[in-house]
Structure 1
Amino acid sequence: MGGNDQQAYDRGTSLFSPDGRIYQVEYAREAVSRGAPSVGVRTADGVVFVAMSRPSSTLMEAESIEKLHKLDDHLGTASAGHVADARQLIDLARRQSQGNRLRYGEPVGVETLTKFVTDHIQENTQRGGTRPYGAALLIGGIDEGEPRLFAADPSGTPNEWKATVIGGGRSDIQGHLESEWTDDLSLTDGIELGIAALAAHENGFEPDDLAVATITEADGYRTVPAEEVAEAFAAAGLVEEEDEGDADDADDAGGNADDDTDTDDTADAGDNADDE
């Protein structure tokens, strides 16, 4: 009977365990932690989103990976976790934002929209026949001239942040944000901080592996072009490290050519496979 009781708590989406836990919500959070990270940074000028959007295969079209989404002219979101679940929440947020404009003739508030979405998320932890959403969102935008940033997790809890991350590597990335964030960050500084924070967890990526968007009062939601992302990548000090690594690889290749042996190359290839 004890085993059956444990399975009931484990499988039930709306049952508390004796120690006050809802296991399905915790499993949904675990699904989010396995996703590629997305960073949100609030700056003095607006909100910045930086997301890892690296293809899992060389045959995958990078443009098909959607991590950042426009919700309204003044609103955007970044996602982590199950893509299909995130898209359902994003569509819900878009409909609510558009409905607010039609009904009241004004843009919806960032906090208002976030709480509408999190209320919907919370319902799926309380009703039978459903499961929690296996996705988390960062919702940011301009509210009466002020930049605001919120996070919504699978439990349906809305929290406002100055800078935060959802997805994998949270401990390393959040630690970097907490040590480097300041009140006077510019929009460019925010992009560089987001990129550097991702590098605190994983340093083997290229500018093309990133998706970056900004939201300001003047320009609204804007997808940052690849050229600007590459400039911020270099300003964050990541290009120099990469160049040094390339130089070492070139030296190794030269040594292998002189020795007429592929032994070192084979070992390097094995190490790279382990890193991936």
Structure 2
Amino acid sequence: MMGGNDQQAYDRGTSLFSPDGRIYQVEYAREAVSRGAPSVGVRTAEGVVFLAMSRPSSTLMEAESIEKLHKLDDHVGTASAGHVADARKLIDFARRQAQVNRLRYGEPVGVETLSKYVTDHVQENTQRGGTRPYGAALLIGGIENGEPRLFAADPSGTPNEWKATVIGGGRKAIQERLEEAWTERLTLTEGIELGVSALLAHDDELTAAEVAVATITEANDYRTVPEADVSAAFDAVNGEEADADDTDDDEAGIDADETDEK
């Protein structure tokens, strides 16, 4: 019969499987990510859109100091969720790999290749003693051979390609909204509006000042979207919701009139 100390070894050991095939430290790292503010990635016909909730924890905090969107190279960027310090280490690693690829091969690194560099590095921390898994997840997206691509990297070191996805808190509501509204023909502007509506599905009190947005287009141009454009996306989404509410009210009124006539 296994003693209490042996049972705790599965919980504390980074590289030990439990009897039911789980690595608890990886699961704890995923929980750390789920407690972070959400970041959304949307692949559109014109490029990739990143959105990140960046609400200050205090009125005394400078909002600009909250950095969740980062440029990795001219054609590729990332959004993070989870422990900020862990995410920064992964971002620095990704930037170095992008630079090494340019120096070694004289060409920009592929989005998928860079994603796998990062996830291979993350995975190493799940099978070595004396380390812990990274408590952060990344969305890595950009342009590869003229096509937009988007990958997610979680604390287990698994790279998955997505059309649109979210990392961080509020995943269920946000992912459901993305699945409902995403299409292949989205423009860049529509992608921003979809991301905004998805974040609002998680927190309907969110404001434009609390959302950071960046885009990467087919011209290999990483661009931070100004707050005025983000506000316009919020206005468009709120306008659509108001129109939908008016339509529902009108239909309810018609139904009531028909009932009265009967």
TM-score normalised by length of structure 2: 0.90
Alignment of 1:99-248 (within 5 A): 99-218=100-219, 220-237=221-238
CA distance, structure 2, for counterparts of residue 219 and residue 100 of structure 1: 17
The one-character-per-residue Cα deviations of 1:97-155 (angstroms, maximum 9, x if unpaired) are 01111111100000000000000000000000000000000000000000000000000
User: How far apart are residue 239 of structure 1 and its match?
Assistant: 9.7
Give the SS at the match of 2:195: helix
Aligned-residue identity in percent = 80
Paired AA for residue 34 in structure 1: R
User: How far apart are residue 2 of structure 1 and its match?
Assistant: 2.8
Q: Which residue of 1 aligns with 2:251?
A: none
CA distance, structure 1, for counterparts of residue 160 and residue 14 of structure 2: 23
Residues 140 and 195 of structure 1, relative CA distance in 2, 3 Å threshold? same
Residues 228 and 8 of structure 1, relative CA distance in 2, 3 Å threshold? same
CA distance, structure 1, for counterparts of residue 216 and residue 174 of structure 2: 22
Q: Which residue of 1 aligns with 2:76?
A: 75
CA distance, structure 2, for counterparts of residue 236 and residue 5 of structure 1: 54
Q: Which residue of 2 aligns with 1:53?
A: 54
CA distance, structure 2, for counterparts of residue 28 and residue 48 of structure 1: 26
TM-score normalised by length of structure 1: 0.86
Paired AA for residue 188 in structure 1: T
Answer whether contact 1:214 1:224 (CA < 8 A) is retained: yes
Structure 1, unmatched stretches of 5+, are: 242-276
Alignment of 1:83-98 (within 5 A): 83-98=84-99
CA distance, structure 1, for counterparts of residue 51 and residue 85 of structure 2: 20
Answer whether contact 1:38 1:51 (CA < 8 A) is retained: yes
User: How far apart are residue 219 of structure 1 and its match?
Assistant: 5.3
Structure 1 runs of 4+ with >3 Å offset: 238-241
Answer whether contact 2:143 2:220 (CA < 8 A) is retained: no
User: How far apart are residue 238 of structure 1 and its match?
Assistant: 6.5
CA distance, structure 1, for counterparts of residue 157 and residue 199 of structure 2: 25
Query: Over aligned residue pairs, what C-alpha RMSD do you find?
Result: 1.4
Answer whether contact 1:233 1:239 (CA < 8 A) is retained: no
Answer whether contact 1:32 1:136 (CA < 8 A) is retained: yes
The one-character-per-residue Cα deviations of 1:181-229 (angstroms, maximum 9, x if unpaired) are 0010000000000000011111111100000000012251100011101
CA distance, structure 2, for counterparts of residue 238 and residue 60 of structure 1: 31
The one-character-per-residue Cα deviations of 1:218-266 (angstroms, maximum 9, x if unpaired) are 251100011101101111117987xxxxxxxxxxxxxxxxxxxxxxxxx
Structure 2, unmatched stretches of 5+, are: 243-262
Answer whether contact 1:139 1:150 (CA < 8 A) is retained: yes
CA distance, structure 2, for counterparts of residue 175 and residue 187 of structure 1: 20
The one-character-per-residue Cα deviations of 1:67-120 (angstroms, maximum 9, x if unpaired) are 000000000000000000000000000000011111111000000000000000
User: How far apart are residue 6 of structure 1 and its match?
Assistant: 1.6
Q: How many residues align?
A: 242
Paired AA for residue 61 in structure 1: E
Residues 180 and 102 of structure 1, relative CA distance in 2, 3 Å threshold? same
Paired AA for residue 14 in structure 2: T
